[in-house]
């Protein structure tokens, strides 16, 4: 006998969203469907999506391969428990390990869960195999490592920490890109260095190859773990599966999320066997992480990302967008000041307020997102076409022409 289904509650048209906690400064836009690099609003307007849910929908909206994978799995089984084997989890872990530096993977549901996993692994590793007095992590100014209490403390951004004292202890901060100041901060309690190879929230600042190589050398010299936060810059976003690969360095731990699920909640903490062996049964866990539905999507994402030529095309489209953006900077120096980032993770530092530019671009039909240091992020899906990049550049130029400058 089928269960009765209650009638839906009437919508609060007078004050939509009144039942939601007021944690987001939302636009009035609402979308009813997506097609590739495009979003269609409830009023029928079409928008070229260069926000990608903040680098999440890496394969665009409703990619047929992902739709097929999630539909097929949804008709079989969604959730069991990590008390049992999850074959899709084993397969995704093996594929990520084979395609990266890592030997073992832990799956969660988000980027900050992957960060928390990595932070716990840092402490557990030193407690088990090194010096139990080592627990402090050096991170960079301008970083972003998620919204949990430890994630906020790791980034050290006063804007986000306000109201959440006392802060989680154990983090020290140095300027991004400065190896001398980093070395000076190392003490007997230092356990690891945590860095985004490309800072997203902090203003789309890409670390130099020399800096990333220097981080590895410093960690080796002082017996520290190298922990990269690739939640935003990983999973093909820069033209490599992981951004640190451009420097040819091997980290000990990497946190990734966003693009790995193509829009489905999924995060992963990757580590070398040397470090991962610090975890044993009961030392870490998750209820939902690694569930069969998420694993089906993650494996489908890898099917596309690891296909021959896919990342080469990301590099090509990134170069096209970079050259077009540089032309705009030259043509409108009172609007755009600087281009930052790598691959399809680029940012335009604005002369005029960046959020005003985000609004202006939205009116032109282009969705973007702001970042620190007065930057507008350009984060198209990795399946973006040359024609769509040309359209986006045209919208950027229209917005530049409409900008009032002094």
pLDDT digits (tens, 9 = 90+) for 256-301: 999 999 999 999 999 999 999 999 999 999 999 999 999 999 999 9
Structure confidence at residue 15 (pLDDT): 82
**Can you tell me the distance from the alpha carbon of 352 to that of 348, in angstroms, rounded to the nearest whole number?**
11
Q: Is residue 377 part of a domain?
A: yes
Asked if 93 and 126 sit in the same domain, the reply is: yes
Residue 216 and residue 356 share a domain: no
Here the tokens at position 379 are: 């984060």
Domain end marker among 254, 279, 305? 305
- Examine residue 1 and state whether it is found in any structural domain, yes or no: no
**Domain presence at residue 397:** yes
Name the one residue in this structure whose structure tokens are 């001398």: 180
Start-to-end CA span in the chain (Å): 71
DSSP conformation letters of 338-373: EEEEETTEEEEEESS-HHHHHHHHHHHTEE-EEETT
The boundaries of the domain holding residue 355 are: 37-62+309-402
Residue 46 maps to a domain: yes
User: What's the pLDDT at 405?
Assistant: 87
Shared domain check, 253 and 156: yes
Same domain, 130 and 174: yes
Low-confidence ranges of the chain (pLDDT < 50): 1
Q: Which of 305, 339, 360 is the last residue of a domain?
A: 305
DSSP bridge partners of 228: 195, 254
Record the pTM: 0.95
Domain end (from 282, 305, 328): 305
Q: What is the pLDDT of residues 41-84, one digit of tens each?
A: 999 999 999 999 999 999 999 999 999 999 999 999 999 999 99
Do 282 and 364 fall into the same domain? no
Residue 6 located in a structural domain: no
Residue 11 lies in a domain: no
Tell me the CATH number at 124.
3.40.640.10
Does 252 share its domain with 152?
yes
pLDDT at 1: 47
257 within a domain of the structure (yes/no)? yes
* Look-up of token digits 């007021």: 22
Q: What is the DSSP letter of 267?
A: E
Q: Within this chain, do residues 100 and 232 fall inside the same structural domain, yes or no? A: yes
271 and 354 fall within a common domain: no
Distance CA 341, CA 326 (A): 12
CATH code for position 48: 3.90.1150.10
71 sits in which H/E element: helix 64-74
Question: Are 164 and 41 part of one and the same domain?
Answer: no
* Residues 160 and 258 both lie in one domain: yes
Among residues 116, 130, 404, the alpha carbon closest in space to that of 284 is found at 116
Q: Kindly state whether residues 286 and 345 are assigned to the same domain.
A: no
Q: Mark whether 282 and 343 lie in a shared domain.
A: no
Query: Which pLDDT score, from 0 to 100, does residue 313 have?
Result: 98
Residue 20 lies in a domain: no
Domain count, the chain: 2
On the question of a cis peptide bond just before residue 329, with omega within 30 degrees of 0, the verdict is: no
Distant-in-sequence, close-in-space partners of 394: CB < 8 Å, separation ≥ 6: none
């Amino acid at each position: 006998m089928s269960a009765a289904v209650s009638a839906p509650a009437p919508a609060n048209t007078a004050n939509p969203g009144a039942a939601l906690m007021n944690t987001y400064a939302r636009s009035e836009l609402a979308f009813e469907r997506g097609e590739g690099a495009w979003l269609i609003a409830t009023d029928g307007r079409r928008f070229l999506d260069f926000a990608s849910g903040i680098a999440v929908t890496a394969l665009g909206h409703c990619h047929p391969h992902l739709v097929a994978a999630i539909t097929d799995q949804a008709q079989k089984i969604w959730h069991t428990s990590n008390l049992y084997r999850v074959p899709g989890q084993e397969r995704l872990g093996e594929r990520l390990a084979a395609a990266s530096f890592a030997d073992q993977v832990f799956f969660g549901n988000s980027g900050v869960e992957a960060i928390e996993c990595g932070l716990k692994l840092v402490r557990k590793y030193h407690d088990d195999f090194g010096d139990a007095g080592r627990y402090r992590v050096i991170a960079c100014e301008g970083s972003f490592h998620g919204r949990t209490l430890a994630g906020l403390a790791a980034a050290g951004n006063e804007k986000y920490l306000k109201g959440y004292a006392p802060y989680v202890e154990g983090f020290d901060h140095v300027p991004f890109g400065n190896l001398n100041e980093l070395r000076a901060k190392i003490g007997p309690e230092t356990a690891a260095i945590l860095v985004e190879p490309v800072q997203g929230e902090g203003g789309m600042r890409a670390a130099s190859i020399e800096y990333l190589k220097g981080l590895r050398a410093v960690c080796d010299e002082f017996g520290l773990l190298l922990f990269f936060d690739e939640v935003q810059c990983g999973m093909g976003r820069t033209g490599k599966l992981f951004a640190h690969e451009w420097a040819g360095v091997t980290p000990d731990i990497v946190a990734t999320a966003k693009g790995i699920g193509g829009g489905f909640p999924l995060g992963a903490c990757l580590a070398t066997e040397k470090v991962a062996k610090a975890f044993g049964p009961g030392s870490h866990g998750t209820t939902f992480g690694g569930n069969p539905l998420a694993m089906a999507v993650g494996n489908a994402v890898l099917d596309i990302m690891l296909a021959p030529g896919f990342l080469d095309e990301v590099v090509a489209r990134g170069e096209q967008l970079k050259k077009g953006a540089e032309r705009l900077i030259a043509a409108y120096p009172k609007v755009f000041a600087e281009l930052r980032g790598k691959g399809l993770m680029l940012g335009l530092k604005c002369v005029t307020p960046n959020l005003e530019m985000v609004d202006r671009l939205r009116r032109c039909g282009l969705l973007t997102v702001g970042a620190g240091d007065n930057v507008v992020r350009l984060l198209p899906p990795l399946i973006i076409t040359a024609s769509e990049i040309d359209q986006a550049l045209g919208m950027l130029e229209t917005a530049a022409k409409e900008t009032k400058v002094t």
